[in-house]
Amino acid sequence: MITGRLEFIDLGPGAWQLTTPDGGRVRLVGPIPRSLDGREVVVEGKRLDGAGVAMVGPIVEVHRIEAR
Amino acid sequence: MWTPLLLSLSALPATAAGRVVIDFTDGTTLPEARRVSGLSDLEWVHERSADESLAVATVPDPSEVVARLAEQPGIEAVEEPVRVEALGFPDDPLFDQQWNLRAIGVARGWRAGGGGGVTVAVIDTGVTRVADLEETLILDGFSFVEGEPTAEDGNGHGTHVAGTIAQSTHNGLGVAGIAPQARILPIKALSRHGFGMSPWIASAIDEAVDQGAQVINLSLGGARSDVIAVATEKAVAAGVLVIAAAGNTGQEGVSYPGALPGVLGVSAVGPKDELAPYSSWGAGVALSAPGGDKRSPGGGILQDTVDGAGSHAFKEFQGTSMATPHVAGAAAVLLSASGGDRALTQRLLLEQAVDLGEPGPDPRYGHGRLDLAAAVGALAVRRNGLLFALGAMAAAVLTGIGAGRRRGRALVIAATSALAAGGAFVLPLLPLPPSALTGLLARPLLLWPAAMLPDPYWRNPLLLSAALPFLLTFFLGPTRTLGPIAAGVSAGIATHLAFGAVTGALDVWLLPGPLGSAWLGLHAGLSALCAMAAIGVARLRDKEGAP
């Protein structure tokens, strides 16, 4: 489980990025409601080994996400 | 898409004395137009001109008709047709907004053939044939993504990337691409969410090599993966140019596979040639290219891409993903123009880049910002210019041996030989509208097939041989007017074949290494013999005084 600030960033077609309290950045994939943009969130998910189009940091597949 | 120069002139009949063109109020029917103007043989300019009620007629005295109809109600404009020159190339209406293509000097790349014959694998979210890719050569694609069996793009990223490389250009629609004559091989390794597992990406790279791609575009990145590293290593060893994004962290540290040895990692700059704030940088950045910076209006990279439910839209994206296909497109242009010379292409991409940041290569910009115009210029002058000069010299030697004192004929032979060996190498440097013809004329004769046939077929032993010199000499050699042309072409081809044998610049398919060099050397000799035979025949005729 990770927490941080969720943002839909303007890279390529757009991507979800989570900035953790220590400044780390994680790219989230999976269905995420646009209403959470800019909110502090809690994410449950799985770290994926691979590559993506956003290239902002480690990639986490979201299983559950909610505002804190 | 490469509309010939002549067709790019106005659709209106040119200079036709006796013709007037009349623009009636929209909605006017043809019978009404004939009645209003009093001109019975009036016709629409084109069947599509009926909407705008634009008509043309042949009249005995055009200036009288223009004067008479100028103030007539129901007529918006009337004039004698004016010839409209093709000043603007391309005619894609949104090209004005593509600062990124102008920044790299795309027009010179178009004049050098626009990447004809070269296959670029786009390993991405798939590629959908949107409206502005209609005329682009897109090969049958593959998908390695679980649950997404086709190479159709469900995300929009891959189609945008493919557009930067080979958007249909000069098609009167949307935007342009860097290498519009290149073949796009879409390989889906990223899902509609823009993410791919490492085995999908590794398999996609393997497949690209197997399918004969000469360039692989990887607008993707992540942590280091051994399977991707192995696949990439194999691709590089197979002679494929692998180009990958540096990443979008805005910090030091290039993402993989961009950071792998042998891969050209690409960082991104905005319209002011400054590193984009999102661009990663560090060891592994080989060069930078426009990736967009949307902090300034219009600062993104504009291409056509999918837009939701089966529709398309011209969208501005930013990212090192967008910078990468600029380099891939430029590589395709240079590979095509150089006859698939990978080492030369890579050298030109790096050496000719505009040095930014600290002098010399640096971690932010690598060798500098991509400059396709400079690279094409260097290729034209250094390689083709050299071949041109060598071709002329070879002809001078051969005619010195066999042609007697016919200076005019010797000159024709030398000029033909120079053109066959090096092509009209200055053509890409002149401000001419590009066309399929300039793309061919600008290159050595032996590399014409490279603009049309996919690699490796164009470099099969038969096409890199004395076959053409033999045929020309046999059929044209004995004729008075065309004999010297046959001699010149044979001498030029002999020059290029010999150059290839000595420098390794021509890679004969099916004949690797020394075998290829031996083949080229043998056929250089045979071609020279053909030239001498054609010269000898002319000399005999001189002696015999035959007509």
A-B C-beta contacts closer than 8 Å: 102
Q: Which own/partner pairs from B454-458 qualify as long-range (CB within 8 Å, at least 24 positions apart)?
A: B454/B117, B454/B119, B454/B183, B454/B212, B455/B117, B455/B118, B455/B119, B455/B212, B455/B214, B455/B340, B456/B212, B456/B509, B457/B509, B458/B117
Q: How confident is the model at residue B83, as a pLDDT? A: 45
| SS3 annotation, A9-43 | ECCCCCEEEEECCCCCEEEEECCCCHHHCCCEEEE
Q: What is the pLDDT of residues B75-85, one digit of tens each?
A: 988 887 654 43
Q: How close is the nearest chain B Cα to the Cα of A27, in Å?
A: 10
Q: How confident is the model at residue B379, as a pLDDT? A: 96
3-class DSSP state of B118: coil
pLDDT surpasses 50 at B13: no
Identify whether the C-beta of residue B372 lies closer than 8 Å to the C-beta of residue B108. Answer: yes
The answer to whether the CB atoms of B318 and A11 lie below 8 A apart is yes
pLDDT surpasses 80 at B5: no
pTM: 0.84
CA dihedral A47, A49, A50, A53 (to 10 degrees): 20
Q: What is the pLDDT of residues B405-432, one digit of tens each?
A: 678 889 999 999 999 999 999 999 998 8
The answer to whether the CB atoms of B194 and A13 lie below 8 A apart is yes
User: Residue B21 — very low, low, confident or very high, per pLDDT cuts 50/70/90?
Assistant: confident
Suggest the residue from B248, B256, B260 to mutate for an interface test with chain A (most A CBs closer than 10 A).
B248
Chain B residues near residue A54 by CB distance under 8 angstroms: 194, 248, 319
d(Cα B92, Cα B424) in Å, to the nearest integer? 28
- B261: nearest Cα among B288, B242, B239, B280: B242
Burial class of residue B541 (count of CB atoms within 10 Å of its CB; 0-12, 13-18, 19+): middle
- CA–centroid distance for B383 within its chain: 18
Q: How close is the nearest chain A Cα to the Cα of B256, in Å?
A: 8
What's the mean pLDDT when you consider all of chain B? 91
Tokens of B2: 């490469």
Phi-psi category of residue B93: left, alpha or beta, with phi > 0 → left and psi -120 to 50 → alpha:
alpha
Q: What is the pLDDT averaged over residues B94-110? A: 96
3-class DSSP state of B231: helix
Name the more confident of B70 and B132.
B132
pLDDT surpasses 50 at B12: no
Mean pLDDT check: name the lowest of B43-52, B150-159, B208-217, B230-239.
B43-52
Tell me whether residue B124 is one of the annotated catalytic residues: yes
Peptide bond into B456 cis (omega under 30): yes
Give chain A's radius of gyration (CA, Å).
11
Identify whether the C-beta of residue B456 lies closer than 8 Å to the C-beta of residue B508. Answer: no
Tell me whether residue B321 is one of the annotated catalytic residues: yes
The answer to whether the CB atoms of B198 and A51 lie below 8 A apart is yes
Name the residue among B194, B225, B305 with its Cβ closest to that of A49. Answer: B225
Cα–Cα distances in angstroms (integers) from residue A67 to residues A9, A16, B163, in the given order: 18, 14, 38
DSSP B4-44: -GGGGS-SSPPS-TTEEEEEEPTT--HHHHHHHHT-TT-EE
Q: How close is the nearest chain B Cα to the Cα of A47, in Å?
A: 11
DSSP bridge partners of A29: A61
Q: What is the pLDDT of residues B135-154, one digit of tens each?
A: 999 999 999 999 999 999 99
Peptide bond into B90 cis (omega under 30): yes
Identify whether the C-beta of residue B489 lies closer than 8 Å to the C-beta of residue B505. Answer: no
Name the residue among A13, A25, A52 with its Cβ closest to that of B195. Answer: A52
d(Cα B123, Cα B244) in Å, to the nearest integer? 10
Find all residues with CB under 8 Å of B145, minimum gap 6, and list them: B188, B189, B190, B191, B196, B200
Mean pLDDT check: name the lowest of A52-61, B21-30, B343-352, B435-444.
B21-30
Q: What is the pLDDT averaged over residues A49-58? A: 93
Chain A residues near residue B319 by CB distance under 8 angstroms: 11-12, 53-55
Q: What is the pLDDT averaged over residues B445-461? A: 93
User: Residue B88 — very low, low, confident or very high, per pLDDT cuts 50/70/90?
Assistant: low
Tell me whether residue B170 is one of the annotated catalytic residues: no
Phi-psi category of residue B240: left, alpha or beta, with phi > 0 → left and psi -120 to 50 → alpha:
beta
pLDDT surpasses 90 at B388: yes
pLDDT surpasses 80 at B86: no
pLDDT surpasses 80 at B197: yes
With tokens 């066309």, the residue in question is B435
d(Cα B88, Cα B3) in Å, to the nearest integer? 13
The answer to whether the CB atoms of B257 and A29 lie below 8 A apart is no
- Of B124, B132, B455, B507, the catalytic one is B124
Chain A residues near residue B294 by CB distance under 8 angstroms: 10
Q: What is the pLDDT averaged over residues B354-378? A: 97
Q: What is the pLDDT of residues B326-339, one digit of tens each?
A: 999 999 999 999 99
DSSP bridge partners of A64: A44
